[in-house]
Structure 1
């Protein structure tokens, strides 16, 4: 069949027209990475980027929970353990912060088991931080005398002048002074020769010196053996014999924890042997979260006056420096022959301790 000349002319390209471009060949696809010898299938990242933040959050949560869990466990088991537990027990209420952050990070990581652990640690830490209980009953006799007690650590005697001004303003009848060096002792006994003429003291330099001033007659002087002075005596108050004892054991710094426990144990032994009204006050270098301190209360059937006044978490140390006070280590302990009216905490210039001022009622036998 002959072709149509017109159709052939139409299909023939014009001399000035470019020929139609050839279709581009498809680019070759990149070759898949070859698997390592002995491995079949394509290579895959076992930890994709989306999983790494969760893994990091879980790791941080676990680290944050270690210290609160350890310290709270020792608190619940009624033991002070070994370094660093005695030191960390002073921070117990504040350990709810890392425990709470640990719970938050566990939730971010979506780890149910870790989150449940964090809930338990946080709840246990918070519960352990509640005010401690008392092991004694409140006396029901009629008040026979009002007793105002002041306990102060003057830090090597540096706060002596501030303490003198405080005594003149507050007019306590019993004053327990820790870290009162020889110059401090002379200044106090001279300044209050009329108001507080009776005293029992340990005359020594630096932190070893202590003095107990009294408006009431003192007899039967005794001293609990310790590195720093802990004098005591029997005061005659409104016809009743009251045992007064200053407490100042060594602090639980690393390397001295055994000394700290031993000296607190001697205070415990004194408290356990007590008969009749008793007042033990001073710088205990221990908080309500230390088992060695709670043992004194338990064995002596004593109450912490701050606990009775619902102020058992009022911090007394450190009272100077960049860190605000975070732990109460200065206490006034009373037997059940005393009622507690009020407790106040006073700042003294020159010392790293706040003083404790307790208003008490001494009760009669009936």
Structure 2
């Protein structure tokens, strides 16, 4: 009896016993979560750095977030780390761009090129301080008696604050111009020099101005205190900064100007840069290498993180030193600037 021929074997496994094909590996839950978290962390820094690059303030919440610009390098860095964990090359490349853009925009502003306007004819010390509804009045009086400024710009100074400053500093700063109002609407400039041509820029909060005669030169003094860019009044904030800019541009040609106060805006805001751009006005802090020194908030759980108090001058007032000083009772640090008034060439 013939036997059936044996099945040929060539070493290949039988179809019935062959292992199943490998199942495609899909990204795990943690990987997907890391990618989504990276995207969420990168969204805000990307939007804010984009506004800064485009020289725009945008709409709420971008004007508010621009105040945090240097701090947004933290979520941008975390976003890059999570993109690497997720192994998403495209996302990681985007994260690198966002982090680089945010870090670049956060660098301190470099001092402007020095321009010589002549020899100094007077050294002027100015202090600009927001006393928060008058609560820092006593501290500011102590500061003024110690530092002896020739000009004192005070925001949120109600009538009681104005009377206290006038009484305590009458011998040191006998001249004044003010907007007398309650709460945050009152403001005053105290001066060691006689004042004339008193006026005020129209605004919700007081922005008085006057002309002082210093070393034979007419110097226009103007206090700045536009509304803050809180949600619902960003348009008003921009319009009041624009009014300040219009006042600057409308002054007589060649007139020396000293514009100081609480601008409720940092150098990262386009509306502020439009006011101080070019050679029209120079920021004393920037000129002395302190453009990122924060002045607000000086109270509360957070340390100060943004500079919104400034001293701006025309180029014939040269900043030689700038300091930022605490005013207990106020949520702002005061700005003290020493300025050299140059003679006319």
Tell me the TM-score normalised to structure 2 length.
Answer: 0.90
The reply on whether 1:314 has 2:283 as its aligned counterpart is no
Aligned to 2:198: 221
Aligned to 1:325: 304
Number of equivalent positions: 324
Deviation at 1:317, TM superposition (A): 0.3
State how 1:135-284 maps to structure 2 within 5 Å: 138-274=115-251, 275=253, 276-284=255-263
Quick one: distance in 2 between partners of 1:284 and 1:182? 21
Distance 1:249 1:136, change over 3 A: farther
Match of 1:350 among 312, 329, 335: 329
Aligned to 1:19: none
Superposed CA RMSD in Å reads 1.7
Deviation at 1:194, TM superposition (A): 1.5
Provide the secondary structure at the position in 1 that maps to 2:277: helix
Q: Deviations over 1:104-135 (max 9, x none)?
A: 11111111111100000011111111233677
Distance 1:299 1:340, change over 3 A: closer
Aligned to 2:4: none
Quick one: distance in 2 between partners of 1:250 and 1:68? 25
Bigger Rg, structure 1 or 2? 1
State how 1:54-133 maps to structure 2 within 5 Å: 54-132=31-109
Quick one: distance in 1 between partners of 2:109 and 2:270? 11
The unaligned stretches of length 5 or more in structure 2 are 1-19
Quick one: distance in 2 between partners of 1:85 and 1:146? 40
Single out whichever of 326-335 and 274-283 deviates more from structure 2.
274-283
The unaligned stretches of length 5 or more in structure 1 are 1-40
Quick one: distance in 2 between partners of 1:323 and 1:110? 35
Q: Is the 8 A contact 1:92 1:289 kept in 2?
A: yes
Q: Deviations over 1:229-258 (max 9, x none)?
A: 000011100000001100000000001111
Provide the secondary structure at the position in 2 that maps to 1:229: coil
Q: Deviations over 1:316-335 (max 9, x none)?
A: 00001111000000000011
Quick one: distance in 1 between partners of 2:69 and 2:260? 23
Q: Is the 8 A contact 2:207 2:223 kept in 1?
A: yes
Provide the secondary structure at the position in 2 that maps to 1:187: helix
Quick one: distance in 1 between partners of 2:137 and 2:325? 14
Distance 1:352 1:156, change over 3 A: same
Q: Is the 8 A contact 1:227 1:249 kept in 2?
A: yes
